[in-house]
Amino acid sequence: MIATLLFCLMPPLQQAVPAKEISWVGLRQAFPKSLEFPQATRQGKPLPSANFEQRLRNWAQQPLVPAKENRAAVYLGDLIQRCQEKRWGKDFVTAQLQELAEALPQEQLEQLAELLQAAAIQSEDWKPSEPKEDGILFGPTWELPAGEYLEHDGKRSVEQAATIIMADIAAIKLAEHDFPRYFQFPENDYLKVQPRDGRYFRVLDQEQDCRAALIEVAFEADLPFPFSTYSFDLSILHRTEDDGSFLTYVFGRSEDLHWLNGYDRLVPVRNSQGQICATLVIRQLALDIKGVPDKSKHHREGIRSGLGNLRRGAEEIFNGNWQGATPQLDSIPEFRVIKPAS
Sorted by sequence, the CB contacts under 8 Å of residue 33 that are 6+ apart come out as: none
Q: What is the pLDDT of residues 306-341, one digit of tens each?
A: 999 999 999 999 998 887 666 556 688 888 999 997
Which pLDDT score, from 0 to 100, does residue 272 have?
A: 92
Q: What is the pLDDT of residues 161-179, one digit of tens each?
A: 999 999 999 999 999 999 9
What is the value of pTM for the model shown?
0.93
Sorted by sequence, the CB contacts under 8 Å of residue 183 that are 6+ apart come out as: 7, 8, 10, 12, 190, 193, 340
Please check the confidence at residue 230 and state whether its pLDDT lies above 80: yes
Domains contained in the chain, CATH given: 2-10+123-340 (3.30.530.20)
Exposure of 235 in the CB half-sphere (CA atoms within 13 A): 21
d(CA 157, CA 311): 25
Q: Give the mean pLDDT of 189-194.
A: 96
Taking Cα atoms as reference points, which of 19, 20, 21 lies closest to residue 336? 19
d(CA 37, CA 124): 34
Which pLDDT score, from 0 to 100, does residue 2 have?
A: 39
Q: What is the pLDDT of residues 48-76, one digit of tens each?
A: 999 999 999 999 999 999 998 788 899 99
Which pLDDT score, from 0 to 100, does residue 68 have?
A: 85
d(CA 114, CA 117): 6
Q: What is the pLDDT of residues 104-137, one digit of tens each?
A: 999 999 999 999 999 999 899 999 998 889 999 9
Quick check: 157 and 143 in contact, CB under 8 A? yes
Which pLDDT score, from 0 to 100, does residue 8 have?
A: 45
Helix/strand/coil for 141: coil
Q: What percent of the chain has pLDDT over 70?
A: 94
Which pLDDT score, from 0 to 100, does residue 324 have?
A: 63
Q: Give the mean pLDDT of 190-206.
A: 93
